[in-house]
């Protein structure tokens, strides 16, 4: 599982990691993050084309998603120091693409579905660009944010699980707005951890940023679908 461990920085505010090592971790993370988007797109395309995830509704869909996601994250944590780490991570991103395909399929059912997907993608890229820029200019230690963001993410997950059974559009909108805020902040936190040397494993770093991007994109797409979807 992806464990977000808060580590106290050393006196020179760099966790004892050299600048060169930090840049290497960041560079490898960006490359792997870009690569991880390919299996996600493939998974989403297969899911939409075959309709394989259409039956995953309500409690069944929730069990499959949570079981698969947490199973993969546990496997990534166990293999992150070995050669199997990258393939396991890419397998996880393919699975997440499959799980995303149901939402994408619903949005594509709107007359302006393709435009909504592109808007959500552009919005997510914009959030990443802003958070990456902020991470480079903010000098203070943000490691204390971790515990508060974790609590927020847990509350959000509980709310999302409840709403799966309630099926409230207003609840989905509120959850989506909260998720965009929480995971945008998590993106800043995770990027800052890498840049400051608090995260030294690029597979763990990629997993954290991937989850941030995935949640922001999914929440933006759901929000756009609810608010801006045009029926045929």
Spatial neighbors of 227 by CB under 8 A, at least 6 apart, are 173
In a domain, 1, yes or no: no
Computed on alpha carbons and rounded to an integer, the radius of gyration of the chain in Å comes to 18
| Closest residue by Cα to residue 45 from 100, 107, 84 | 100
Distances (CA, A) of 66 to 15, 83, 146, 163, 215: 33, 25, 22, 15, 14
In a domain, 127, yes or no: yes
> What pLDDT digit, counting tens, does each position of 137-150 carry?
988 888 888 889 99
pTM of the entire predicted model = 0.87
> What pLDDT digit, counting tens, does each position of 77-100 carry?
999 999 899 999 999 999 999 999
In a domain, 213, yes or no: yes
In a domain, 9, yes or no: no
Report how far residue 55's alpha carbon sits from residue 92's, in angstroms, rounded to the nearest whole number.
20
In a domain, 117, yes or no: yes
For residue 207, the Cα-to-chain-centroid distance in whole angstroms is 8
In a domain, 54, yes or no: yes
In a domain, 146, yes or no: yes
Instruction: Give the chain's domain count.
Output: 1
Burial of 89 by CB count in 10 Å (0-12 exposed, 13-18 middle, 19+ buried)? buried
Handedness of CA 147, 33, 30, 121 (dihedral sign): negative
> What pLDDT digit, counting tens, does each position of 165-195 carry?
887 788 889 999 999 999 999 999 999 999 8
In a domain, 8, yes or no: no
Task: Decide: helix, strand or coil at residue 171.
Answer: helix
Domain that holds residue 110: 19-228
């Amino acid at each position: 599982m992806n464990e977000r461990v808060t580590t106290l920085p050393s006196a020179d505010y760099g966790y004892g990691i050299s600048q060169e090592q930090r840049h290497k971790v960041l560079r490898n993370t960006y490359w792997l993050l870009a690569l991880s988007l390919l299996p996600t797109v493939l998974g989403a395309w297969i899911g939409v084309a075959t309709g394989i995830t259409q039956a995953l509704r309500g409690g069944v869909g929730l069990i499959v998603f949570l079981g698969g996601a947490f199973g993969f994250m546990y496997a990534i944590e166990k293999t992150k120091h070995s050669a199997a780490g990258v393939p396991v991570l890419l397998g996880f991103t393919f699975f997440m693409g499959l799980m995303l395909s149901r939402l994408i399929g619903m949005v594509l059912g709107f007359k302006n579905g393709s435009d909504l997907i592109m808007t959500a993608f552009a919005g997510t890229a914009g959030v990443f660009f802003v958070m990456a820029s902020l991470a480079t200019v903010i000098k203070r230690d943000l490691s204390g944010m971790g515990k508060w963001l974790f609590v927020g993410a847990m509350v959000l997950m509980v709310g999302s699980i409840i709403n799966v059974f309630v099926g409230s559009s207003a609840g989905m909108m509120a959850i989506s707005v909260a998720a965009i805020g929480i995971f945008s902040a998590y993106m800043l936190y995770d990027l800052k951890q890498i840049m400051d040397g608090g995260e030294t494993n690029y597979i763990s770093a990629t997993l954290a940023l991937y989850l941030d991007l995935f949640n922001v994109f999914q929440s933006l797409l759901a929000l756009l679908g609810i608010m801006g979807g045009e029926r045929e």
